[in-house]
Chains A and B, each alone.
Chain A
């Protein structure tokens, strides 16, 4: 993460004028608000932050902020973000997207991004469904969830993103809920502050294709214990909870990948000079 700048922006300054096309009630609105708040709390500036996404409803988020945005291709947010962070270590790089984008088509990249431990934050808005393509089962979908593409349920064991992240070497693993703006903002801020690959899974309901997820707000609760730095203990906790414990579940101290491209941090004036014609 960058050292804080002198001029402080408010959360609203991180939201753009573009009106989100999300369905009313979509959890992703909450994630946008939490992210804006976290960036403000960290005293970051829009031009110091890049949001890199894949494809999906959730991946539209960068356009709704005033930060630099990169709307990539389906499943490839992490390799794009890695390339960017390595070329410009001075920027705060946040990759984000959905569970389909990150665990299905992009699942392979998830493993290797955790392993490589580049200083990135990865936010997955998990709604256990492919929202944008109208509601097919994703890797985190419950095996018995009935839908038109897999009538009677997919019948396949769900993907366990948090333990997979741990096993693959992520330095920070947390679970948040889109409806809990303050709590999610704190978790996102801590993820950005922590060096190395920080993974934040945000339960973010798809009210259109999974209306029953409106119940999540009644199911979520803070994790009974704080973060541990022992991956085995964290894995055991995650595997034995019911998927609704919120908070930082693991925070390690692995040395992040150090790119050879370190350069001077630019000031706003430097950026303005470059853009001058």
Chain B
């Protein structure tokens, strides 16, 4: 292929997303710029201009229109990709629900950024976690490599179950940090991700319609169907991961256990915090403290069984949330309490609001939090951590 990528490239998280999208061969790319997602759009436009990406890039007048165009293009049978952040994702909200209801397997990369007001440009996952009930598959990425692997996998998973997928990456820490990334060849990705061919599509030869007014029973059945499709994600993700690992040698499980053998305390986190937490775990292990990390890569559907199995027998859990749901606390903390409810020998679950609004959380601070948690009682509510 013309301009085949070199295997290893130095890429930011944003450019890794753009490379993954290019390799997935989307046909329609509706986009609206917003900091810090803009480099994704610029890279994709550059690929398209150079003839390396055969897609229609369109620039609607807002994110609301971006998602509307994405839904219709997807239902017409085209593979659709777009990217956004923060306010842009919030403006899409109405149509996020519509997309999952219409079973349009669009893939969106969302750069996690604080939401207004007040205004900020800092990493914070509240934007996407506020969309958790919109019926989208949600992934959280730790690194540029994770972004590339996840975007490609997201297309395969979304199209298998006909549910849209959102791939989240933290602003700046992931979106703008340069890392060496293994970029697979086009043939490999083509073998992994067959052309999109949905069982239903807008087709004049075979008329069907979407978005009709339905009875209560039909509506209810429709929701259950969506739930059943979500439930199939675990199995499809496992099979997708096996295939990806066979082809590339890299494995990206839906939850990853890092140095959890015999761990007394396990840190649970998502996104860029996982990288820092790994350093904290290494330092604590060096001091012979039995601490591990559990990275939640797939947040919707929440892998409840996998979490229960992975955390069984652990004495203490420290959840780090770079997000805040006012009136309840850290979203992952509260979801984990629900997921582990009724487990035998329940672990103590300590929730920490660490890094909200982009506040920096160092590995040393995480190590301190582990020690403080082990020494104290677990509280029902999430506890604020100062930077």
**What residues of chain A have their CB less than 8 Å away from a CB belonging to chain B?**
55, 71, 73-75, 104-105, 107, 130, 132-134, 136-137, 139, 148-152, 154
Q: Is the CB of B46 within 8 A of A107?
A: no
Taken together as a complex, chains A and B put the C-alpha atoms of A149 and B43 apart, in Å, by 8
Q: How far is the CB of B339 from chain A (nearest CB, A)?
A: 34
Question: Which of A55, A107, A133 is B61 in contact with, Cβ under 8 Å?
Answer: A107
Question: Which of B32, B46, B116 is A148 in contact with, Cβ under 8 Å?
Answer: B46
Question: Which of B31, B49, B57, B87 is A73 in contact with, Cβ under 8 Å?
Answer: B87
Does B360 interact with chain A (Cβ within 8 Å)?
no
Contact status of A134 and B38, CB under 8 A, knowing A104-B62, A149-B33: yes
Contact status of A130 and B33, CB under 8 A, knowing A105-B62, A137-B59, A139-B61: yes
Q: Using Cβ atoms and an 8 Å threshold, which residues of chain B touch A139?
A: 61
Please name the residue on chain B nearest to A151 by beta carbon: B49
Taken together as a complex, chains A and B put the C-alpha atoms of A107 and B62 apart, in Å, by 10
Q: What are 14 A-B pairs with beta-carbon distances under 8 A? A: A55-B119, A73-B116, A75-B62, A107-B61, A130-B33, A133-B33, A134-B33, A139-B61, A148-B45, A149-B31, A150-B57, A150-B59, A151-B46, A151-B48
Q: Is the CB of B42 within 8 A of A133?
A: no
| Docked complex: B174-219 residues within 8 A CB-CB of A | none
Taken together as a complex, chains A and B put the C-alpha atoms of A71 and B189 apart, in Å, by 45
Question: Which of A55, A130, A149 is B42 in contact with, Cβ under 8 Å?
Answer: A149
Contact status of A71 and B33, CB under 8 A, knowing A104-B61, A107-B61, A148-B42: no
Please name the residue on chain A nearest to B41 by beta carbon: A149
Q: Using Cβ atoms and an 8 Å threshold, which residues of chain A touch B325?
A: none
Taken together as a complex, chains A and B put the C-alpha atoms of A154 and B61 apart, in Å, by 13
Does B226 interact with chain A (Cβ within 8 Å)?
no
Q: Is the CB of B38 within 8 A of A105?
A: no
Q: Is the CB of B119 within 8 A of A105?
A: no
Taken together as a complex, chains A and B put the C-alpha atoms of A73 and B116 apart, in Å, by 8
Q: Using Cβ atoms and an 8 Å threshold, which residues of chain A touch B116?
A: 73
Does B245 interact with chain A (Cβ within 8 Å)?
no
A interface, over-half SS: loop
Question: Which of B41, B48, B61 is A105 in contact with, Cβ under 8 Å?
Answer: B61
Q: Using Cβ atoms and an 8 Å threshold, which residues of chain A touch B31?
A: 149
Does B34 interact with chain A (Cβ within 8 Å)?
yes
Q: Using Cβ atoms and an 8 Å threshold, which residues of chain B touch A132?
A: 35
Q: Using Cβ atoms and an 8 Å threshold, which residues of chain A touch B59?
A: 136-137, 149-150, 154
Q: Using Cβ atoms and an 8 Å threshold, which residues of chain A touch B38?
A: 133-134, 136
**What residues of chain B have their CB less than 8 Å away from a CB belonging to chain A?**
31-35, 38, 41-42, 45-46, 48-49, 57, 59, 61-62, 87, 116, 119
Q: With contacts A150-B59, A151-B49 known, what are 20 further pairs, Cβ within 8 A?
A: A71-B119, A73-B87, A73-B116, A104-B61, A105-B32, A105-B62, A132-B35, A133-B33, A133-B34, A133-B35, A133-B38, A134-B38, A136-B59, A139-B61, A148-B46, A149-B45, A149-B59, A150-B45, A151-B45, A151-B48
Q: Using Cβ atoms and an 8 Å threshold, which residues of chain B touch A137?
A: 59
Q: How far is the CB of A219 from chain B (nearest CB, A)?
A: 27
Question: Which of A107, A132, A148, A152 lies at the interface centre, i.e. has the most chain B CB atoms within 10 A of its CB?
Answer: A148
Taken together as a complex, chains A and B put the C-alpha atoms of A150 and B62 apart, in Å, by 16
Please name the residue on chain B nearest to A75 by beta carbon: B62
Taken together as a complex, chains A and B put the C-alpha atoms of A108 and B45 apart, in Å, by 27
Q: Using Cβ atoms and an 8 Å threshold, which residues of chain B touch A136?
A: 33, 38, 41, 59
Q: How far is the CB of B276 from chain A (nearest CB, A)?
A: 29
Q: Using Cβ atoms and an 8 Å threshold, which residues of chain A touch B48?
A: 151
Q: How far is the CB of A270 from chain B (nearest CB, A)?
A: 28
Please name the residue on chain A nearest to B46 by beta carbon: A148
Q: Using Cβ atoms and an 8 Å threshold, which residues of chain A touch B35?
A: 132-133
Q: How far is the CB of B39 from chain A (nearest CB, A)?
A: 9
Taken together as a complex, chains A and B put the C-alpha atoms of A266 and B328 apart, in Å, by 42
Taken together as a complex, chains A and B put the C-alpha atoms of A109 and B203 apart, in Å, by 35
Q: Using Cβ atoms and an 8 Å threshold, which residues of chain A touch B49?
A: 151-152
Q: Using Cβ atoms and an 8 Å threshold, which residues of chain A touch B87?
A: 55, 73-74
Taken together as a complex, chains A and B put the C-alpha atoms of A136 and B44 apart, in Å, by 14
Q: How far is the CB of B119 from chain A (nearest CB, A)?
A: 7
Q: How far is the CB of A70 from chain B (nearest CB, A)?
A: 10
Q: Using Cβ atoms and an 8 Å threshold, which residues of chain A touch B42?
A: 148-149
The 8 closest A-B pairs by CB, nearest first: A151-B49, A105-B62, A133-B33, A104-B61, A148-B42, A149-B45, A136-B33, A133-B38
Q: Using Cβ atoms and an 8 Å threshold, which residues of chain B touch A149?
A: 31, 33, 41-42, 45, 57, 59
Q: How far is the CB of B60 from chain A (nearest CB, A)?
A: 9
Q: How far is the CB of B189 from chain A (nearest CB, A)?
A: 24
Q: How far is the CB of B110 from chain A (nearest CB, A)?
A: 16
Please name the residue on chain B nearest to A105 by beta carbon: B62
Q: Using Cβ atoms and an 8 Å threshold, which residues of chain B touch A130?
A: 33
Taken together as a complex, chains A and B put the C-alpha atoms of A266 and B32 apart, in Å, by 43
Taken together as a complex, chains A and B put the C-alpha atoms of A71 and B87 apart, in Å, by 14
Q: How far is the CB of B32 from chain A (nearest CB, A)?
A: 8
Please name the residue on chain A nearest to B36 by beta carbon: A133
Q: Using Cβ atoms and an 8 Å threshold, which residues of chain A touch B61?
A: 104-105, 107, 139
Q: Using Cβ atoms and an 8 Å threshold, which residues of chain B touch A74?
A: 87
Taken together as a complex, chains A and B put the C-alpha atoms of A240 and B284 apart, in Å, by 74
Please name the residue on chain A nearest to B90 by beta carbon: A73
Taken together as a complex, chains A and B put the C-alpha atoms of A132 and B36 apart, in Å, by 11
Taken together as a complex, chains A and B put the C-alpha atoms of A130 and B38 apart, in Å, by 12
Please name the residue on chain A nearest to B118 by beta carbon: A71
Taken together as a complex, chains A and B put the C-alpha atoms of A151 and B59 apart, in Å, by 12
Please name the residue on chain A nearest to B116 by beta carbon: A73
Taken together as a complex, chains A and B put the C-alpha atoms of A55 and B42 apart, in Å, by 21
Q: Using Cβ atoms and an 8 Å threshold, which residues of chain A touch B45?
A: 148-151
Taken together as a complex, chains A and B put the C-alpha atoms of A134 and B34 apart, in Å, by 9
Q: Using Cβ atoms and an 8 Å threshold, which residues of chain A touch B46?
A: 148, 151
